[in-house]
Structure 1
Amino acid sequence: MSKYEILARTLLKCELFEGFNHFQLNTMLECFSPKLHSYNKGDFIVMAGSRYHGLGIMVEGSAVITKENAAGSRVMLGVVTAGELFGEVIAFSGKVQWPANVQAQTDCVTIFLENNAIINQCSEACSFHSQLIKNLLKTVSNRAIMLNRRVEYLSMKSINSKIACLLLEHMEKSGSHTFRLPMNRNEMADFLNISRPSMSREMGVMRDRGIIEFQKEAIRILKPDKLKDMINE
């Protein structure tokens, strides 16, 4: 068994390796020779302003991506869970510093892939190396779409519309009316750029009206049409 076999089982779920089989992924990992990095909950995986050292992949656990605005307030940019990438948007931008913090939300394990290892043909001349680059381009494009979506959130005037839009998006992503949010309430409030008390109050109203049910990060959408109406208010 390859020394990367166990790691490969997780990475096969990663969008960077979409379409790869176990053999192809193991071959790529042999070329990259990635090292596993472990972090405890609360540790900074990377800090804004530190030297950029390659595209990151979350192998185990989850982390939040944050940045401080000009006023010194924390702005949440997103959550990274197992099998997801971080740092891919700036990988080939020419930037030499991380633009945001990536902080462990739980105990985490990550790997980093150096840019040169991604764009240069490996020594084994893997025929599927080009597929890796295509997947990366697709991922960056999807991130651009997601960032545009975030702008839509921030442009919404009412708290209700922001919450409703976020819940409907996660319902669609999960394929079920019952799902778990990848962020806690404080992180959700930061992401939507609203206060935690205001968000909790409005979610309580939605619950009392029989539109949603929730227990911590677990959400059940009872009346999706009502949430859609809130977005259009």
Structure 2
Amino acid sequence: MCISALSAAAPDSREHFSMGAMGLQLHRPPVRFDISTKAFASFSTEEIDHLLACTYASTKNFKRGEVLITQGEDSSTLAIVLKGTVLLSDQESGSDSPVAFLNPGDHFGEDLGWSENPTARFTAIAASPGTVAVLDLRTLQNLDGHQCKLRTRLAAKLLEFSAESVARASAFEQMRQQETLRERLAEFFINQRAEQGTEKLLITLNREQFAAHLGTEKTTLGKELKAMQNEGLIEFYRSSFRILKDLTEG
């Protein structure tokens, strides 16, 4: 499922079409689903229902390894992760290493509501099976036709999302600039602690994906994690990690 399957068309009628991997599809007004995560915590239930309706929102399920959107592809879609994990990569930089991994409540495509001919900044690939909510951002620009009464608030929310994406990209670049794997891991865990708000972290990447995000190999990552655990810096079991000591020391 390429995200062309996530893209709605013609936001000027109650029924609209999109060209997806399975061919032409008819989408009817959406059944309500929950996006009242951290992304839209400031919106009431009624406002979320209206937002879903006026952006012709729908949900799409994906399988592990599925490409949701390709960098440079035409798209006007905001996607919110409802279930599973999505990896973003900047393939134009010459690397397939994921620059970010998105969990439920996270989002991508927030910058696509402003350009006349919007294209995706990153390639998004499913790291696990899951579901995304899909909102058509062309309602922000369609001044003569269908409009959303929450247009101004949605625009403000997209600016907030864009700022979060910039901060995420900056944190990734700073992490990858660290010379040693130990330093990159320390930076990574510190960033995740700030984002998750706890010393007990859930890292939804498998070890191969985790290693790629850090710019190393799976076996090398495994050895370093075990060394940090033996030194009493962290403890971990599968996808659960706990920071035990100050990782900025040494």
What does the per-residue CA deviation read over 1:105-131, in whole Å, with 9 as the maximum and x for residues that have no partner? Answer: 2222223322321345685762x4312
Q: RCO higher in 1 or 2 (8 Å CA, sep ≥ 6)?
A: 1
RMSD after superposition? 2.5
Q: Distance in 2 between matches of 1:175 and 1:215?
A: 19
Superposition pairs of residues 100-139 of structure 1, within 5 angstroms? 100-120=122-142, 123=146, 126=149, 128-139=150-161
- Please, which moves more after superposition, 62-71 or 76-85? 62-71
Contact 2:111 2:162 in 1 (8 A): yes
Compared CA separation, residues 175 and 14, structure 1 to 2 (3 A):
closer
Correspondence for 2:210 among 177, 181, 188? 188
The residue aligned with 2:65 is: 42
Structure 2: gaps spanning 5 or more residues:
1-28
Q: Which runs of 4+ in 1 moved over 6 A?
A: none
Contact 1:51 1:98 in 2 (8 A): yes
Task: Give % identity.
Answer: 18
TM-score, normalized by length of structure 1? 0.83
Q: Distance in 1 between matches of 2:213 and 2:44?
A: 35
Contact 1:119 1:133 in 2 (8 A): no
Compared CA separation, residues 3 and 140, structure 1 to 2 (3 A):
closer
- Please, which moves more after superposition, 107-116 or 90-99? 90-99
Size of the alignment, in residue pairs?
221
SS at match of 2:58: coil
Q: Distance in 2 between matches of 1:95 and 1:123?
A: 19
Superposition pairs of residues 16-95 of structure 1, within 5 angstroms? 17-68=40-91, 73-93=95-115
Q: Distance in 2 between matches of 1:48 and 1:25?
A: 29
Contact 1:69 1:75 in 2 (8 A): no
The residue aligned with 1:198 is: 220
Give the superposition deviation at 1:204.
1.3
The residue aligned with 2:181 is: 159
What does the per-residue CA deviation read over 1:69-126, in whole Å, with 9 as the maximum and x for residues that have no partner? Answer: 666x522121122222112235434554434321222222223322321345685762
Correspondence for 2:163 among 130, 141, 163? 141
- Please, which moves more after superposition, 158-167 or 112-121? 112-121
Contact 1:63 1:103 in 2 (8 A): yes
Compared CA separation, residues 46 and 163, structure 1 to 2 (3 A):
same
Contact 2:113 2:138 in 1 (8 A): no
SS at match of 1:132: helix
- The structure carrying a bigger helix percent of its residues is 1
Q: Distance in 2 between matches of 1:66 and 1:216?
A: 24
The residue aligned with 1:229 is: 249
Structure 1: gaps spanning 5 or more residues:
none
SS at match of 2:88: strand
TM-score, normalized by length of structure 2? 0.78
Contact 1:50 1:98 in 2 (8 A): yes
Q: Distance in 2 between matches of 1:222 and 1:62?
A: 26
